[in-house]
Amino acid sequence: MIMKKHSLAGTCGIPREPERIYIQVDTIADDSPTTGPADPQYIHWADGRCWKTESIYCRQEFGRMIFGNLCVRYDICIARQRRTLWWENGRWFVRRGSGIAVSA
């Protein structure tokens, strides 16, 4: 029997729940909590602005899908600036105050 683990928020640089701003992200394929994320293509803010991902510098996984605590960090380039984007349990988010999104 595999024990399910809790979220890794607050460890490995992963933002805790109050530090997160959830955003909509368009990907090249479907992503889900069971298969993991696909690479981000467009990032949408709540105020209607949209940015295209110019490039992906790196992708780093924390935790494991089998334990139910997979969290993926993407370092991406948007508007010629390096930004960090996170995926966990089918939801995309950024760190509050990171400069990538305005809090809603």
The Cα–Cα gap between 75 and 69 comes to: 20
- H/E run at residue 59: strand 55-62
Task: List beta partners, residue 88.
Answer: 71, 91
Question: What band does 8 get if pLDDT is binned at 50, 70 and 90?
Answer: confident
pTM beyond 0.85: the answer is: no
The Cα–Cα gap between 75 and 66 comes to: 24
Task: List beta partners, residue 91.
Answer: 88
At 61-104, the pLDDT tens digits run 998 887 778 899 999 999 899 999 999 988 999 998 766 654 44
